[in-house]
Amino acid sequence: MGFLKTLLPGDIAAGLALTGKYFGRVFFSANRKKIRTQLKHFTQEYPEVKVRLAPRYRGRLTMLKDEQGEIKCVCCLACEKICPTQVISIEKGKKEGRKMPFPVRYDFEMERCIFCEFCVESCGFDSIILNHQFELAGYNREDFSLGLEGTSQNMFTASPVGHHSVAEDEKR
Amino acid sequence: MPSQAIPMTLTQTLTMGLIQILAVLIAVFIMVPLLTFAERKVIGYMQVRLGATRLAGGHVGITGPMNRAMWAMGKVPMLSLLRGLPIFIADALKLITKEDIIPAKADRGVFTLAPIISVMAAFGVFAAVAYFPGTLFVFPKGFPIVGGLPFQGFITDVNVGLLFILGLASVGVYGIVLGAWASNSKYPLLGSLRSAAQIISYEVPLTLSLLVPVLLSGSLNFKDMAVALATGQGLSPLAIIPLFIGFFIYLTCGFAETNRVPFDLAEAETELVAGFHTEYSGMKFGFFYLAEYANMIVVSALATAFFLGGHFLLPFGLQRFVPASAPFIGQPSFLFFFLKVCLILFAFLWVRATLPRYRYDQLMDVGWKWLIPLTLVNLFVAALIRFAF
Protein backbone atom coordinates (compact mmCIF):
# COMPACT_ATOMS: atom_id res chain seq x y z
CA MET A 1 0.00 0.00 0.00
CA GLY A 2 3.04 2.24 0.03
CA PHE A 3 2.42 3.29 -3.54
CA LEU A 4 -0.89 4.81 -2.48
CA LYS A 5 1.13 7.66 -1.05
CA THR A 6 1.83 8.70 -4.64
CA LEU A 7 -1.91 8.98 -5.17
CA LEU A 8 -2.39 11.45 -2.35
CA PRO A 9 -3.62 14.75 -3.75
CA GLY A 10 -1.24 16.64 -1.49
CA ASP A 11 1.85 14.99 -2.93
CA ILE A 12 0.63 15.37 -6.49
CA ALA A 13 -0.14 19.01 -5.80
CA ALA A 14 3.37 19.54 -4.41
CA GLY A 15 4.85 18.06 -7.60
CA LEU A 16 2.59 20.11 -9.81
CA ALA A 17 3.46 23.25 -7.85
CA LEU A 18 7.17 22.64 -8.46
CA THR A 19 6.82 22.15 -12.21
CA GLY A 20 4.39 25.05 -12.34
CA LYS A 21 6.94 27.28 -10.62
CA TYR A 22 9.59 26.39 -13.17
CA PHE A 23 7.12 26.89 -16.00
CA GLY A 24 6.28 30.37 -14.78
CA ARG A 25 9.91 31.32 -14.33
CA VAL A 26 10.99 30.24 -17.79
CA PHE A 27 7.81 31.53 -19.40
CA PHE A 28 8.33 35.02 -18.11
CA SER A 29 12.10 35.18 -18.65
CA ALA A 30 12.36 33.58 -22.12
CA ASN A 31 10.66 34.86 -25.26
CA ARG A 32 11.61 38.47 -24.87
CA LYS A 33 12.55 40.74 -27.73
CA LYS A 34 15.95 41.61 -26.25
CA ILE A 35 18.56 38.95 -25.61
CA ARG A 36 18.89 38.64 -21.86
CA THR A 37 22.07 37.90 -20.00
CA GLN A 38 20.38 36.68 -16.82
CA LEU A 39 18.32 33.67 -17.86
CA LYS A 40 16.27 31.23 -15.82
CA HIS A 41 16.69 28.25 -18.16
CA PHE A 42 19.63 26.02 -19.00
CA THR A 43 19.32 26.07 -22.79
CA GLN A 44 22.20 27.85 -24.51
CA GLU A 45 21.36 29.30 -27.92
CA TYR A 46 25.02 28.95 -28.78
CA PRO A 47 25.86 30.11 -32.28
CA GLU A 48 23.71 33.19 -31.91
CA VAL A 49 24.15 34.06 -28.27
CA LYS A 50 27.43 33.99 -26.39
CA VAL A 51 27.83 30.86 -24.29
CA ARG A 52 27.66 31.12 -20.52
CA LEU A 53 30.57 29.02 -19.24
CA ALA A 54 31.25 27.78 -15.74
CA PRO A 55 34.01 29.79 -13.99
CA ARG A 56 36.28 26.71 -13.81
CA TYR A 57 35.86 25.83 -17.48
CA ARG A 58 39.17 24.51 -18.90
CA GLY A 59 39.93 26.11 -22.25
CA ARG A 60 43.25 26.77 -23.99
CA LEU A 61 46.55 27.19 -22.08
CA THR A 62 47.56 30.85 -21.76
CA MET A 63 50.66 32.54 -20.25
CA LEU A 64 50.27 35.51 -17.95
CA LYS A 65 52.33 38.68 -17.58
CA ASP A 66 52.72 40.77 -14.43
CA GLU A 67 52.02 44.50 -14.05
CA GLN A 68 55.32 45.52 -15.64
CA GLY A 69 54.60 43.41 -18.72
CA GLU A 70 57.16 40.79 -17.67
CA ILE A 71 56.49 37.10 -18.23
CA LYS A 72 55.66 35.54 -14.85
CA CYS A 73 57.14 32.14 -15.76
CA VAL A 74 60.44 31.31 -14.04
CA CYS A 75 61.22 28.05 -15.87
CA CYS A 76 60.84 25.67 -12.93
CA LEU A 77 59.67 23.07 -15.49
CA ALA A 78 56.94 21.81 -13.14
CA CYS A 79 54.35 21.99 -15.88
CA GLU A 80 56.60 20.24 -18.37
CA LYS A 81 57.23 17.40 -15.93
CA ILE A 82 53.62 16.84 -14.86
CA CYS A 83 52.06 17.04 -18.33
CA PRO A 84 50.65 13.57 -19.09
CA THR A 85 50.83 14.01 -22.85
CA GLN A 86 54.09 16.02 -22.82
CA VAL A 87 52.86 18.86 -24.93
CA ILE A 88 54.91 21.56 -23.13
CA SER A 89 58.60 22.07 -23.81
CA ILE A 90 60.54 24.96 -22.23
CA GLU A 91 64.01 26.30 -23.01
CA LYS A 92 65.65 28.11 -20.09
CA GLY A 93 67.48 31.38 -20.66
CA LYS A 94 68.76 34.60 -19.06
CA LYS A 95 67.66 38.16 -19.52
CA GLU A 96 69.23 41.54 -18.62
CA GLY A 97 68.02 42.90 -15.27
CA ARG A 98 66.05 39.83 -14.27
CA LYS A 99 67.12 37.61 -11.38
CA MET A 100 64.87 34.67 -12.18
CA PRO A 101 65.42 32.41 -15.20
CA PHE A 102 63.54 33.50 -18.27
CA PRO A 103 61.83 31.20 -20.86
CA VAL A 104 63.47 31.69 -24.23
CA ARG A 105 61.07 29.21 -25.79
CA TYR A 106 57.76 27.92 -24.40
CA ASP A 107 56.26 25.53 -26.93
CA PHE A 108 52.74 24.19 -26.52
CA GLU A 109 51.44 21.50 -28.89
CA MET A 110 47.70 21.93 -28.57
CA GLU A 111 46.78 19.04 -30.86
CA ARG A 112 47.82 16.55 -28.18
CA CYS A 113 46.66 18.55 -25.16
CA ILE A 114 43.92 16.90 -23.09
CA PHE A 115 42.98 20.06 -21.13
CA CYS A 116 43.48 18.36 -17.74
CA GLU A 117 44.74 21.55 -16.00
CA PHE A 118 47.59 19.66 -14.22
CA CYS A 119 50.08 22.26 -15.51
CA VAL A 120 48.13 25.11 -13.95
CA GLU A 121 47.76 23.25 -10.65
CA SER A 122 51.48 22.45 -10.49
CA CYS A 123 52.59 26.01 -11.26
CA GLY A 124 53.91 27.66 -8.10
CA PHE A 125 54.03 31.14 -9.56
CA ASP A 126 50.51 31.44 -11.04
CA SER A 127 52.06 32.18 -14.39
CA ILE A 128 49.76 30.09 -16.59
CA ILE A 129 45.99 29.61 -16.74
CA LEU A 130 43.48 27.83 -18.94
CA ASN A 131 41.31 30.52 -20.52
CA HIS A 132 37.65 30.20 -21.50
CA GLN A 133 38.23 29.73 -25.21
CA PHE A 134 36.64 26.59 -26.64
CA GLU A 135 36.28 27.35 -30.34
CA LEU A 136 39.71 25.93 -31.16
CA ALA A 137 39.17 24.40 -34.59
CA GLY A 138 41.84 25.17 -37.17
CA TYR A 139 42.51 24.58 -40.85
CA ASN A 140 46.08 23.22 -40.63
CA ARG A 141 48.46 21.61 -38.18
CA GLU A 142 50.62 24.70 -37.70
CA ASP A 143 47.64 26.42 -36.09
CA PHE A 144 48.03 24.11 -33.12
CA SER A 145 51.73 24.80 -32.40
CA LEU A 146 51.82 27.72 -30.03
CA GLY A 147 54.85 29.59 -28.68
CA LEU A 148 56.03 32.90 -27.36
CA GLU A 149 56.67 34.46 -30.78
CA GLY A 150 54.26 35.48 -33.49
CA THR A 151 51.43 37.95 -33.53
CA SER A 152 48.52 35.60 -34.21
CA GLN A 153 49.60 32.32 -32.62
CA ASN A 154 51.20 33.00 -29.26
CA MET A 155 50.60 31.98 -25.70
CA PHE A 156 49.45 35.40 -24.49
CA THR A 157 46.32 36.11 -26.48
CA ALA A 158 43.34 34.02 -27.47
CA SER A 159 43.71 31.89 -30.56
CA PRO A 160 42.49 33.42 -33.79
CA VAL A 161 41.06 30.08 -34.86
CA GLY A 162 37.57 30.35 -33.49
CA HIS A 163 35.97 33.20 -35.26
CA HIS A 164 33.19 31.11 -36.61
CA SER A 165 30.29 32.04 -34.38
CA VAL A 166 27.91 34.93 -34.63
CA ALA A 167 28.70 35.81 -31.04
CA GLU A 168 32.33 36.39 -32.05
CA ASP A 169 31.27 38.49 -35.05
CA GLU A 170 29.27 40.65 -32.74
CA LYS A 171 32.24 41.27 -30.46
CA ARG A 172 34.47 42.53 -33.27
CA MET B 1 -33.47 15.95 -34.16
CA PRO B 2 -32.99 19.61 -33.28
CA SER B 3 -36.04 21.78 -33.34
CA GLN B 4 -35.66 23.95 -36.40
CA ALA B 5 -37.24 27.36 -36.36
CA ILE B 6 -36.66 27.78 -40.11
CA PRO B 7 -37.92 25.01 -42.43
CA MET B 8 -35.07 23.59 -44.53
CA THR B 9 -35.06 21.59 -47.74
CA LEU B 10 -33.13 18.33 -47.93
CA THR B 11 -30.29 19.98 -49.91
CA GLN B 12 -30.06 22.73 -47.34
CA THR B 13 -29.97 20.27 -44.44
CA LEU B 14 -27.25 18.19 -46.06
CA THR B 15 -25.14 21.19 -47.06
CA MET B 16 -25.48 22.74 -43.65
CA GLY B 17 -24.46 19.47 -42.00
CA LEU B 18 -21.45 19.17 -44.28
CA ILE B 19 -20.36 22.72 -43.57
CA GLN B 20 -20.60 22.18 -39.82
CA ILE B 21 -18.74 18.86 -39.98
CA LEU B 22 -15.99 20.45 -42.08
CA ALA B 23 -15.71 23.37 -39.68
CA VAL B 24 -15.25 21.03 -36.71
CA LEU B 25 -12.81 18.78 -38.61
CA ILE B 26 -10.68 21.72 -39.70
CA ALA B 27 -10.70 23.09 -36.17
CA VAL B 28 -9.52 19.73 -34.81
CA PHE B 29 -6.89 19.34 -37.52
CA ILE B 30 -5.52 22.75 -36.53
CA MET B 31 -5.82 22.10 -32.81
CA VAL B 32 -3.93 18.79 -32.85
CA PRO B 33 -0.62 20.04 -34.36
CA LEU B 34 -0.82 23.15 -32.19
CA LEU B 35 -1.26 20.86 -29.21
CA THR B 36 1.83 18.83 -30.11
CA PHE B 37 3.77 22.07 -30.43
CA ALA B 38 2.40 23.30 -27.11
CA GLU B 39 3.44 19.98 -25.60
CA ARG B 40 7.05 20.51 -26.65
CA LYS B 41 7.13 24.04 -25.35
CA VAL B 42 5.25 23.51 -22.08
CA ILE B 43 7.20 20.41 -21.11
CA GLY B 44 10.40 22.21 -22.12
CA TYR B 45 9.63 25.13 -19.85
CA MET B 46 8.73 22.84 -16.98
CA GLN B 47 12.06 21.06 -17.35
CA VAL B 48 13.85 24.45 -17.36
CA ARG B 49 14.76 24.39 -21.05
CA LEU B 50 13.33 26.17 -24.07
CA GLY B 51 11.67 23.44 -26.11
CA ALA B 52 11.57 23.76 -29.89
CA THR B 53 13.18 27.04 -30.98
CA ARG B 54 14.94 26.56 -34.27
CA LEU B 55 12.64 26.45 -37.26
CA ALA B 56 12.91 29.61 -39.37
CA GLY B 57 14.57 31.30 -36.42
CA GLY B 58 18.18 30.19 -36.90
CA HIS B 59 20.96 31.82 -38.89
CA VAL B 60 20.78 29.53 -41.94
CA GLY B 61 18.10 28.98 -44.55
CA ILE B 62 15.80 31.38 -46.33
CA THR B 63 15.24 33.60 -43.35
CA GLY B 64 18.88 33.31 -42.28
CA PRO B 65 20.21 36.75 -43.32
CA MET B 66 17.40 38.59 -41.54
CA ASN B 67 17.80 36.51 -38.40
CA ARG B 68 21.60 37.02 -38.41
CA ALA B 69 21.14 40.75 -38.63
CA MET B 70 18.70 40.74 -35.72
CA TRP B 71 20.95 38.54 -33.55
CA ALA B 72 23.83 40.94 -34.33
CA MET B 73 21.70 43.84 -33.12
CA GLY B 74 21.22 42.05 -29.82
CA LYS B 75 17.61 41.12 -30.51
CA VAL B 76 15.83 37.79 -30.77
CA PRO B 77 14.64 37.47 -34.40
CA MET B 78 10.97 38.05 -35.12
CA LEU B 79 10.37 34.53 -36.39
CA SER B 80 12.22 33.11 -33.45
CA LEU B 81 9.94 34.98 -31.08
CA LEU B 82 7.34 32.40 -31.99
CA ARG B 83 10.05 29.94 -31.02
CA GLY B 84 9.81 27.37 -33.77
CA LEU B 85 6.04 27.57 -34.16
CA PRO B 86 6.34 26.51 -37.85
CA ILE B 87 7.47 23.14 -36.49
CA PHE B 88 3.84 22.05 -36.29
CA ILE B 89 3.58 22.31 -40.09
CA ALA B 90 6.84 20.41 -40.45
CA ASP B 91 5.52 17.69 -38.13
CA ALA B 92 2.40 17.19 -40.20
CA LEU B 93 4.36 17.20 -43.49
CA LYS B 94 6.77 14.63 -42.11
CA LEU B 95 3.99 12.26 -41.10
CA ILE B 96 2.24 12.58 -44.47
CA THR B 97 5.34 12.09 -46.63
CA LYS B 98 7.02 9.31 -44.65
CA GLU B 99 7.28 5.84 -46.16
CA ASP B 100 4.48 3.55 -45.06
CA ILE B 101 5.92 0.17 -44.09
CA ILE B 102 3.76 -2.91 -43.52
CA PRO B 103 5.62 -5.85 -41.89
CA ALA B 104 5.88 -8.96 -44.10
CA LYS B 105 3.98 -11.21 -41.71
CA ALA B 106 1.37 -8.69 -40.71
CA ASP B 107 -2.30 -9.16 -41.47
CA ARG B 108 -2.55 -6.47 -44.14
CA GLY B 109 -6.28 -5.87 -43.99
CA VAL B 110 -6.60 -5.55 -40.23
CA PHE B 111 -3.32 -3.69 -40.05
CA THR B 112 -4.79 -1.00 -42.30
CA LEU B 113 -8.20 -1.07 -40.66
CA ALA B 114 -6.95 -0.51 -37.10
CA PRO B 115 -5.82 3.12 -37.37
CA ILE B 116 -8.99 3.93 -39.30
CA ILE B 117 -11.16 2.55 -36.47
CA SER B 118 -9.08 4.45 -33.95
CA VAL B 119 -9.36 7.78 -35.73
CA MET B 120 -13.04 7.29 -36.59
CA ALA B 121 -13.95 6.60 -32.98
CA ALA B 122 -12.05 9.70 -31.89
CA PHE B 123 -13.56 12.00 -34.54
CA GLY B 124 -17.09 10.59 -34.47
CA VAL B 125 -17.41 11.73 -30.88
CA PHE B 126 -17.22 15.35 -32.02
CA ALA B 127 -20.61 14.93 -33.70
CA ALA B 128 -22.39 15.05 -30.35
CA VAL B 129 -20.23 17.62 -28.57
CA ALA B 130 -21.94 21.00 -28.23
CA TYR B 131 -19.49 23.90 -28.18
CA PHE B 132 -22.21 26.51 -27.89
CA PRO B 133 -25.91 25.88 -27.24
CA GLY B 134 -27.32 28.33 -29.76
CA THR B 135 -26.53 29.98 -33.06
CA LEU B 136 -22.99 31.23 -33.60
CA PHE B 137 -23.81 33.34 -36.67
CA VAL B 138 -26.35 33.48 -39.51
CA PHE B 139 -25.28 33.13 -43.14
CA PRO B 140 -26.10 36.31 -45.15
CA LYS B 141 -29.20 36.20 -47.36
CA GLY B 142 -27.35 36.19 -50.68
CA PHE B 143 -25.30 33.10 -49.79
CA PRO B 144 -25.82 30.17 -52.22
CA ILE B 145 -27.98 27.30 -50.85
CA VAL B 146 -27.52 28.15 -47.14
CA GLY B 147 -28.39 31.88 -47.25
CA GLY B 148 -30.24 33.03 -44.14
CA LEU B 149 -29.65 29.81 -42.22
CA PRO B 150 -28.08 29.76 -38.75
CA PHE B 151 -24.65 28.22 -38.15
CA GLN B 152 -25.02 26.34 -34.90
CA GLY B 153 -22.40 25.63 -32.26
CA PHE B 154 -22.95 21.86 -32.51
CA ILE B 155 -23.28 19.32 -35.32
CA THR B 156 -26.23 17.31 -34.02
CA ASP B 157 -28.31 17.73 -30.93
CA VAL B 158 -28.51 14.13 -29.72
CA ASN B 159 -30.82 13.78 -26.75
CA VAL B 160 -28.76 10.87 -25.38
CA GLY B 161 -25.52 12.65 -26.27
CA LEU B 162 -23.54 11.36 -23.32
CA LEU B 163 -24.45 7.75 -24.06
CA PHE B 164 -23.45 8.19 -27.70
CA ILE B 165 -20.12 9.74 -26.73
CA LEU B 166 -19.24 7.06 -24.19
CA GLY B 167 -20.24 4.27 -26.58
CA LEU B 168 -18.21 5.62 -29.47
CA ALA B 169 -15.21 6.54 -27.35
CA SER B 170 -14.82 2.98 -26.09
CA VAL B 171 -14.75 1.68 -29.68
CA GLY B 172 -11.32 3.29 -29.91
CA VAL B 173 -9.78 0.41 -27.98
CA TYR B 174 -10.60 -1.90 -30.91
CA GLY B 175 -8.21 0.09 -33.04
CA ILE B 176 -5.44 -0.44 -30.51
CA VAL B 177 -6.10 -4.16 -29.98
CA LEU B 178 -6.62 -5.01 -33.66
CA GLY B 179 -3.62 -2.98 -34.77
CA ALA B 180 -1.39 -4.70 -32.24
CA TRP B 181 -2.73 -8.16 -33.09
CA ALA B 182 -2.28 -7.57 -36.82
CA SER B 183 1.31 -6.40 -36.31
CA ASN B 184 2.29 -10.00 -35.47
CA SER B 185 4.86 -8.86 -32.93
CA LYS B 186 5.35 -9.32 -29.19
CA TYR B 187 5.67 -5.77 -27.92
CA PRO B 188 2.57 -4.36 -29.61
CA LEU B 189 0.54 -7.31 -28.38
CA LEU B 190 1.65 -6.84 -24.76
CA GLY B 191 0.99 -3.11 -24.99
CA SER B 192 -2.45 -3.61 -26.46
CA LEU B 193 -3.44 -6.20 -23.85
CA ARG B 194 -2.49 -3.78 -21.13
CA SER B 195 -4.31 -1.00 -22.91
CA ALA B 196 -7.49 -3.06 -23.32
CA ALA B 197 -7.50 -4.02 -19.64
CA GLN B 198 -6.77 -0.44 -18.64
CA ILE B 199 -9.44 1.15 -20.79
CA ILE B 200 -12.10 -1.37 -19.78
CA SER B 201 -11.23 -0.95 -16.08
CA TYR B 202 -11.28 2.83 -16.22
CA GLU B 203 -14.44 2.99 -18.30
CA VAL B 204 -16.35 2.01 -15.15
CA PRO B 205 -15.29 4.88 -12.82
CA LEU B 206 -15.36 7.26 -15.79
CA THR B 207 -18.99 6.50 -16.52
CA LEU B 208 -19.90 6.44 -12.83
CA SER B 209 -18.30 9.84 -12.29
CA LEU B 210 -20.19 11.20 -15.31
CA LEU B 211 -23.43 9.94 -13.75
CA VAL B 212 -23.15 12.65 -11.09
CA PRO B 213 -23.90 15.54 -13.48
CA VAL B 214 -26.51 13.37 -15.20
CA LEU B 215 -28.22 12.75 -11.88
CA LEU B 216 -28.04 16.38 -10.79
CA SER B 217 -29.28 17.86 -14.06
CA GLY B 218 -31.73 15.09 -14.92
CA SER B 219 -30.75 14.98 -18.58
CA LEU B 220 -28.45 13.19 -21.00
CA ASN B 221 -28.45 16.04 -23.49
CA PHE B 222 -25.18 17.91 -23.84
CA LYS B 223 -26.71 21.39 -23.97
CA ASP B 224 -29.28 20.92 -21.22
CA MET B 225 -26.74 19.46 -18.82
CA ALA B 226 -24.28 22.30 -19.31
CA VAL B 227 -26.95 24.95 -18.77
CA ALA B 228 -28.52 23.20 -15.77
CA LEU B 229 -25.21 22.62 -14.02
CA ALA B 230 -23.75 26.07 -14.61
CA THR B 231 -26.82 28.06 -13.62
CA GLY B 232 -27.78 25.50 -10.97
CA GLN B 233 -31.55 25.82 -11.48
CA GLY B 234 -33.38 23.84 -8.82
CA LEU B 235 -30.10 22.54 -7.39
CA SER B 236 -28.99 22.69 -3.80
CA PRO B 237 -25.79 24.70 -3.25
CA LEU B 238 -24.42 21.50 -1.70
CA ALA B 239 -24.30 19.98 -5.19
CA ILE B 240 -20.87 21.56 -5.57
CA ILE B 241 -19.37 18.81 -3.35
CA PRO B 242 -20.08 15.74 -5.54
CA LEU B 243 -19.42 17.78 -8.68
CA PHE B 244 -16.03 18.90 -7.41
CA ILE B 245 -14.96 15.39 -6.38
CA GLY B 246 -16.45 13.97 -9.57
CA PHE B 247 -14.43 16.39 -11.66
CA PHE B 248 -11.12 15.13 -10.30
CA ILE B 249 -12.15 11.48 -10.60
CA TYR B 250 -13.28 12.13 -14.16
CA LEU B 251 -9.99 13.84 -15.00
CA THR B 252 -8.00 10.92 -13.55
CA CYS B 253 -10.03 8.41 -15.57
CA GLY B 254 -9.78 10.66 -18.61
CA PHE B 255 -5.99 10.47 -18.39
CA ALA B 256 -6.26 6.69 -18.30
CA GLU B 257 -8.77 6.60 -21.17
CA THR B 258 -6.55 8.61 -23.48
CA ASN B 259 -3.41 6.61 -22.54
CA ARG B 260 -1.61 9.68 -21.30
CA VAL B 261 1.10 9.89 -18.66
CA PRO B 262 0.92 8.75 -15.82
CA PHE B 263 -1.24 5.95 -17.27
CA ASP B 264 0.51 5.50 -20.63
CA LEU B 265 1.10 1.79 -20.14
CA ALA B 266 -0.04 1.01 -23.67
CA GLU B 267 3.07 2.64 -25.09
CA ALA B 268 5.45 2.45 -22.13
CA GLU B 269 8.51 3.22 -24.20
CA THR B 270 10.98 2.07 -21.57
CA GLU B 271 9.46 -1.42 -21.54
CA LEU B 272 7.59 -1.97 -24.80
CA VAL B 273 9.53 -0.02 -27.46
CA ALA B 274 6.47 1.99 -28.51
CA GLY B 275 3.63 -0.24 -27.40
CA PHE B 276 0.81 -0.93 -29.80
CA HIS B 277 2.16 1.25 -32.62
CA THR B 278 5.68 -0.20 -32.69
CA GLU B 279 5.22 -1.57 -36.22
CA TYR B 280 3.37 1.42 -37.58
CA SER B 281 4.94 4.17 -39.65
CA GLY B 282 3.94 6.99 -41.93
CA MET B 283 0.37 8.22 -41.93
CA LYS B 284 -0.94 5.04 -40.27
CA PHE B 285 1.10 6.00 -37.21
CA GLY B 286 -0.10 9.55 -37.80
CA PHE B 287 -3.69 8.37 -37.47
CA PHE B 288 -3.00 6.81 -34.06
CA TYR B 289 -1.26 9.99 -33.06
CA LEU B 290 -4.15 12.10 -34.31
CA ALA B 291 -6.65 9.88 -32.49
CA GLU B 292 -4.77 10.23 -29.19
CA TYR B 293 -4.76 14.01 -29.36
CA ALA B 294 -8.34 14.19 -30.62
CA ASN B 295 -9.31 12.02 -27.65
CA MET B 296 -7.55 14.47 -25.36
CA ILE B 297 -9.63 17.29 -26.83
CA VAL B 298 -12.82 15.24 -26.39
CA VAL B 299 -12.05 14.47 -22.75
CA SER B 300 -11.34 18.16 -22.14
CA ALA B 301 -14.57 19.17 -23.88
CA LEU B 302 -16.59 16.70 -21.80
CA ALA B 303 -14.98 17.85 -18.56
CA THR B 304 -15.70 21.45 -19.55
CA ALA B 305 -19.31 20.81 -20.46
CA PHE B 306 -20.26 18.58 -17.53
CA PHE B 307 -18.14 19.85 -14.68
CA LEU B 308 -16.72 23.28 -15.49
CA GLY B 309 -19.91 25.00 -16.53
CA GLY B 310 -19.53 24.68 -20.31
CA HIS B 311 -20.05 27.94 -22.14
CA PHE B 312 -20.78 29.88 -18.94
CA LEU B 313 -18.08 31.67 -17.02
CA LEU B 314 -18.41 29.96 -13.63
CA PRO B 315 -18.66 26.21 -12.97
CA PHE B 316 -20.51 24.14 -10.36
CA GLY B 317 -23.72 26.17 -10.34
CA LEU B 318 -21.89 29.33 -9.25
CA GLN B 319 -23.12 31.12 -12.38
CA ARG B 320 -26.38 31.91 -10.57
CA PHE B 321 -24.54 34.55 -8.52
CA VAL B 322 -23.59 36.42 -11.70
CA PRO B 323 -26.58 38.49 -12.90
CA ALA B 324 -27.66 37.58 -16.44
CA SER B 325 -27.68 41.27 -17.26
CA ALA B 326 -23.92 41.59 -16.71
CA PRO B 327 -22.35 42.73 -20.02
CA PHE B 328 -20.03 39.86 -20.99
CA ILE B 329 -19.68 37.46 -18.08
CA GLY B 330 -23.41 37.03 -17.53
CA GLN B 331 -24.07 35.52 -20.94
CA PRO B 332 -22.84 32.19 -22.35
CA SER B 333 -19.99 32.56 -24.82
CA PHE B 334 -18.04 30.23 -27.08
CA LEU B 335 -14.90 31.89 -25.75
CA PHE B 336 -15.41 30.57 -22.21
CA PHE B 337 -15.80 27.03 -23.53
CA PHE B 338 -12.64 27.28 -25.62
CA LEU B 339 -10.68 28.79 -22.74
CA LYS B 340 -11.66 25.99 -20.37
CA VAL B 341 -10.78 23.32 -22.93
CA CYS B 342 -7.34 24.93 -23.32
CA LEU B 343 -6.89 24.99 -19.54
CA ILE B 344 -7.60 21.27 -19.23
CA LEU B 345 -5.33 20.50 -22.17
CA PHE B 346 -2.64 22.45 -20.34
CA ALA B 347 -3.32 20.31 -17.29
CA PHE B 348 -2.71 17.22 -19.45
CA LEU B 349 0.74 18.54 -20.38
CA TRP B 350 1.43 19.73 -16.85
CA VAL B 351 0.75 16.29 -15.39
CA ARG B 352 2.86 14.68 -18.11
CA ALA B 353 5.81 16.85 -17.13
CA THR B 354 5.37 16.04 -13.43
CA LEU B 355 4.25 12.50 -12.66
CA PRO B 356 6.03 9.22 -13.44
CA ARG B 357 4.22 6.22 -14.89
CA TYR B 358 2.29 3.82 -12.64
CA ARG B 359 3.16 0.15 -12.60
CA TYR B 360 0.56 -2.17 -14.16
CA ASP B 361 -0.66 -3.75 -10.90
CA GLN B 362 -0.75 -0.33 -9.23
CA LEU B 363 -2.89 0.94 -12.07
CA MET B 364 -5.38 -1.90 -11.60
CA ASP B 365 -5.35 -1.44 -7.82
CA VAL B 366 -6.10 2.25 -8.14
CA GLY B 367 -8.85 1.66 -10.65
CA TRP B 368 -10.75 -1.18 -9.01
CA LYS B 369 -10.03 -0.79 -5.30
CA TRP B 370 -10.13 2.98 -4.94
CA LEU B 371 -11.67 4.85 -7.84
CA ILE B 372 -14.76 2.67 -8.28
CA PRO B 373 -15.74 2.70 -4.56
CA LEU B 374 -15.01 6.42 -4.43
CA THR B 375 -17.24 7.14 -7.42
CA LEU B 376 -20.01 5.00 -5.95
CA VAL B 377 -19.88 6.94 -2.68
CA ASN B 378 -19.79 10.17 -4.67
CA LEU B 379 -22.82 9.07 -6.67
CA PHE B 380 -24.67 8.22 -3.46
CA VAL B 381 -23.90 11.67 -2.04
CA ALA B 382 -25.13 13.28 -5.27
CA ALA B 383 -28.35 11.29 -5.14
CA LEU B 384 -28.83 12.27 -1.50
CA ILE B 385 -28.37 15.94 -2.34
CA ARG B 386 -30.64 15.71 -5.36
CA PHE B 387 -33.58 14.18 -3.53
CA ALA B 388 -33.17 15.22 0.11
CA PHE B 389 -32.38 18.95 -0.29
> Across the interface, do B71 and A170 touch by the CB < 8 Å criterion?
yes
> Across the interface, do B350 and A19 touch by the CB < 8 Å criterion?
yes
CA–CA distance, B5 with B3 (Å, rounded to integer): 6
Residue A28's φ and ψ, nearest 5 degrees, are -90, -10
- Under the phi-then-psi rule, with left for phi > 0, alpha for psi from -120 to 50, and beta for the rest, what region is A14? alpha
Using CA atoms, how far residue B50 sits from A41, B47, B73, in Å, is 7, 9, 22
For helices B334-354 and B10-46, give the axis angle rounded to 10 degrees.
Answer: 40
Q: Residue B135: beta bridge partners?
A: B152
Residue A14 touches chain B, beta carbons under 8 Å: no
Asked if residue B309 lies in contact with residue B315, where contact means CB atoms within 8 angstroms, the answer is: yes
Mutation target for B interface from A7, A27, A46, A48: give the one with most B CBs within 10 A. A48
Residue type, A29: S
Chain B residue with minimal CA distance to A49?
Answer: B71
Residue B350 touches chain A, beta carbons under 8 Å: yes
Sheet (strand A88-93) strand order: A88-93, A102-109, A145-146
> Across the interface, do A42 and B46 touch by the CB < 8 Å criterion?
no
CA–CA distance, A153 with B325 (Å, rounded to integer): 79
Record the pTM: 0.79
ipTM greater than cut 0.85: no
CA–CA distance, B62 with B336 (Å, rounded to integer): 39
Minimal CA–CA distance to B58: which of B37, B41, B79, B43?
A: B79
- What part of B 71-90 touches A (C-beta under 8 Å)? 71-72, 74-76, 81, 83
Asked if residue B121 lies in contact with residue B152, where contact means CB atoms within 8 angstroms, the answer is: no
Minimal CA–CA distance to B259: which of B247, B268, B272, B246?
A: B268
Per-residue model confidence as pLDDT tens for chain B (389 residues): 444 556 777 787 788 888 888 888 888 888 888 888 888 888 888 888 887 776 655 566 666 777 777 767 766 666 555 566 667 777 778 888 888 888 888 888 888 899 999 888 888 888 888 777 777 777 777 777 777 777 777 777 777 778 888 888 888 888 888 888 888 888 888 888 888 888 888 888 988 888 888 888 877 877 777 777 777 676 777 778 888 888 888 988 888 888 887 887 777 666 777 777 788 888 888 888 888 888 899 889 888 888 887 777 777 766 666 666 667 666 777 888 888 899 999 999 999 888 888 888 888 888 888 888 889 998 999 888 888 77
For residue B154, give every residue at least 6 positions away whose Cβ sits within 8 Å of its Cβ, in sequence order, or none. Answer: B20, B128, B129, B130, B131, B132, B133, B222, B223
CA–CA distance, B203 with B254 (Å, rounded to integer): 9
